[in-house]
Copies of this chain bind each other. A is one copy, B any other.
């Protein structure tokens, strides 16, 4: 099994190192945090003395390098990759993918790179918050940029599968647009809701129950981590924010004029039911030949249409997706 070298041993990087070892892979890490390094060593994991050493060993053993530092440190580490392991297999766990692909192209252009973003986390951070089980059953986007080769994508995807996740292939731009809506926007709305609730004073604090607790949960996260991911996805988040302001403004107008919130509440209820169907249908399986031309394009299209890769062999990938529901037109009597 291919060895894994994890740079950065916080919540996500630390969990990748544990999960890689759990799957039986040789794996080591490096971190600039003395605290995370000590905790990881105490738990029996191999942590090298420097990023340089870790990358040199990755080059010697043809390992997959996983970049798991906070977004602001990415540039520095990529320049080290370019110095010590320029043609390495490379992936990352960063929540914004288009800037990652740009940075790799700029700072480590010879690396064999596919982006990665595991959709898992907790409110806490650092090595101690992680676990080998963090990705079990989670989704893990593995992104395909203009320079991504099939081998690089396959190696990143295999790591995600070995960590217990299912893989969503996507282009970096489509990934960023989607997570702006379903991850970055929820963080921002949680912050605004917490502040508007706080402005209600001690009585509001006293009466806050489940809806407030759930609606604000994610802003308990370290605000610097939330800043890095939201600000790093500026263009896509602005787009999602404008949609939100539009819908919220329309709700405000309807409440003030007619007194009705029917349209807002009913469309939100229906949209959520689409995300979490009461009785999910049995998924449909599709097999993609990896030795065919356009395999990466086919995988990207599958991912962007909602499919997840659940297993990879030498020359095939198996993807699962929900059956496409019959449209109303098709389900309705033909009228004849």
Instruction: List A residues at the B interface (Cβ < 8 Å).
Output: 119-121, 138-139, 141, 168, 170, 174-175, 177-183, 185-221, 223, 226-227, 230-231, 234, 237-238, 240-245, 247-249, 251-252, 255-256, 259-262, 264-276, 303-308
- B177 and A200 contacting across the interface, CB-CB below 8 Å: yes
User: Which among A181, A248, A264 has the highest number of chain B CB atoms within 10 Å?
Assistant: A181
Cross-chain contact A209 with B139 (CB below 8 angstroms): yes
Q: For A223, what are the chain B residues with a Cβ–Cβ distance below 8 Å?
A: 262, 265-266, 268-269
Q: Report the minimal beta-carbon distance from A156 to chain B, rounded to whole angstroms.
A: 16
The answer to whether B268 touches A205 (Cβ under 8 A) is no
User: What are 13 A-to-B residue pairs whose CB atoms are below 8 Å?
Assistant: A180-B200, A182-B208, A183-B211, A185-B193, A186-B193, A202-B304, A202-B306, A213-B276, A215-B218, A220-B276, A230-B261, A238-B256, A241-B252
Q: Which residues of B contact A214 (CB under 8 A)?
A: 186, 214-215, 217-218
Partner of A272 from the list B220, B237, B268 (CB cut-off 8 Å) is B220
Other A-B pairs beyond A195-B264, A197-B271, 16, CB < 8 Å: A120-B210, A139-B206, A174-B203, A178-B201, A180-B200, A183-B209, A187-B265, A189-B215, A190-B268, A195-B268, A197-B275, A203-B305, A214-B217, A231-B255, A241-B252, A245-B245
Q: Closest B-chain residue to A168, C-beta based? A: B206
The complex places the Cα of A255 from the Cα of B120 at a distance, in Å, of 25
Q: How far is the CB of A234 from chain B (nearest CB, A)?
A: 6
CB closest chain-B residue, reference A212: B182
* Contact indicator B275/A216 (Cβ below 8 Å): yes
Decide yes or no: A198 and B271 within 8 Å by CB, A214-B214, A256-B238 being known contacts. Answer: yes
**Once the chains bind, are A207 and B191 in contact (CB under 8 Å)?**
no
On chain B, the residues within 8 Å of A217 by CB distance are 211, 214-215
- Chain B's nearest CB lies how many Å from the CB of A93? 14
- A274 neighbours in B (Cβ, 8 Å): 198, 205
Is the beta-carbon distance between B231 and A261 smaller than 8 angstroms? yes
Cα of A306 to Cα of B226 in the assembled complex, Å: 30
Contacts of A237 in B (CB 8 A): 255
Partner of A247, one of B195, B208, B242: B195
**B252-A248 in contact (CB<8A):** no
A317 to chain B, nearest CB (A): 16
Determine how close the nearest CB of chain B comes to the CB of A121; give it in whole angstroms: 7
With A178-B204, A182-B212 as known contacts, state yes or no: A252 contacts B247, CB within 8 Å.
Answer: no
The residues of B that contact A251 with a CB separation of less than 8 Å are 188, 191-192, 241
